[in-house]
Amino acid sequence: IITGMISAILVAPMIGKYSDKNPHTQHKALIGTAVIHLAGVVLFYFTNDFWLMLAINVTLMAFGGCCGFLITSYAKVQSRIFGKHANDAMMFNRAMGSLAWAFGPALSGFIVADYGFDALFIFLAIANSFALLFVISLPKIEIRSPKKQANTETDHQAKKLNSEAKFLLLAFLLLHIVIGAILILLPLHIIDLGGAEKQTGQAFAIAAFIEIPILLFCGKFLSFTGNYRMLILIFVLAAISFIATGLTTSITQLLSLQVLSGIMIALSMGIGMTLIQDTMPDNPATIISHYSNMLRLSILLGTAIAGIAADYMTAGSILSFMSILPAMGLILIISKYQKHQPNPAPLSKT
């Protein structure tokens, strides 16, 4: 898993830059990564050697995994046709991702338990085949906004991360490191409270299902708060959620707090992703590749910190202590964001 993530982090920016060249390269990147991912799944089915599986994971699956963020970048460009409802379209796209996470692991577990891993890989190959047919059917669309299509002098410079993108990525990295750590800390904390695997599954399921309706209404929330106030809300909710979860003394308290956690994660994943995408609107695949890498890096760092600290502290104590990270992100937002957005306003509708 670690080697696969590191490999994906290395190749994602290259794929993103290639996709952003023009509509033809965008279409080629979408189809190419979908084909590669399908090939990786099929080869996994026929492979029993560990080293060969590792090689497939760090090559085919790393490149093929880029198809996910390329679909998101395509959706960002396509959302322009919805005009003032463009952000609602993007939130719906993100909600479908949450829906997949809500049902995917449970469905996979059911298939493996009743039919074995061979059946799982057959199912994944069929699902990937439908995904390939879907991306093949997508029409080519102009990547750059109409106002900038004629200006090619600053293309190279535009593909570089600007300062706004950098500090937003850093701020959300600090928050998502804790979300990554929760993958280890929440099950351990539940065990400390006398719970078991069933309660762990319930906790993650509650948060996942809360995310979906919140994501669908994120665009509406922004019309009331504006970008700056929404960012403040996200990071304050994160700090409160992590501290409160770490201080829970019963399973009932912990499960109840997953509603707050689900709201916070939905706002972070939905609005955070869209705000970061808006920093480079004419290079959607490039910026979303960096966003995807931020998420991968946060999982690597979060799980590593949690795993090491768990030998010396209780899971609840670690989780409460790590709330300092979103607090640091909040300070970064307060100190930097208004310099780039002197008049906080609702998210761009273009």
- Straight-line distance from the first to the last Cα atom of the chain, in angstroms, rounded to the nearest whole number: 38
CB 306 within 8 A of CB 40: no
pLDDT digit string, tens, across residues 33-69:
999 999 999 998 888 888 998 999 999 999 998 988 8
CB 20 within 8 A of CB 136: no
CB 8 within 8 A of CB 66: yes
Distance CA 260, CA 266 (A): 10
Distance CA 122, CA 45 (A): 8
Distance of CA 232 to the CA centre of its chain: 20
> Which one-letter DSSP state was computed for residue 248?
-
Distance CA 172, CA 165 (A): 11
Distance CA 84, CA 271 (A): 16
- Note the pLDDT of residue 253: 92
Distance CA 155, CA 157 (A): 6
Angle formed by the axes of helices 324-340 and 163-192, nearest 10°: 160
- Note the pLDDT of residue 341: 55
Predicted TM-score (pTM) of this structure: 0.83
- Note the pLDDT of residue 93: 76
- Note the pLDDT of residue 222: 73
Q: CA separation (Å) from 157 to 129, 248, 289?
A: 37, 49, 17
Residues in the chain with pLDDT values less than 50? 149-150, 152-153, 342-350
- The CA radius of gyration of the chain, in Å to the nearest whole number, is 20
Which residue in this structure is represented by tokens 């770490």? 246
Distance CA 192, CA 202 (A): 16
How many residues appear in the chain? 350
Distance CA 345, CA 16 (A): 29
184: its two tokens: 């280890």
pLDDT digit string, tens, across residues 192-202:
998 877 788 78
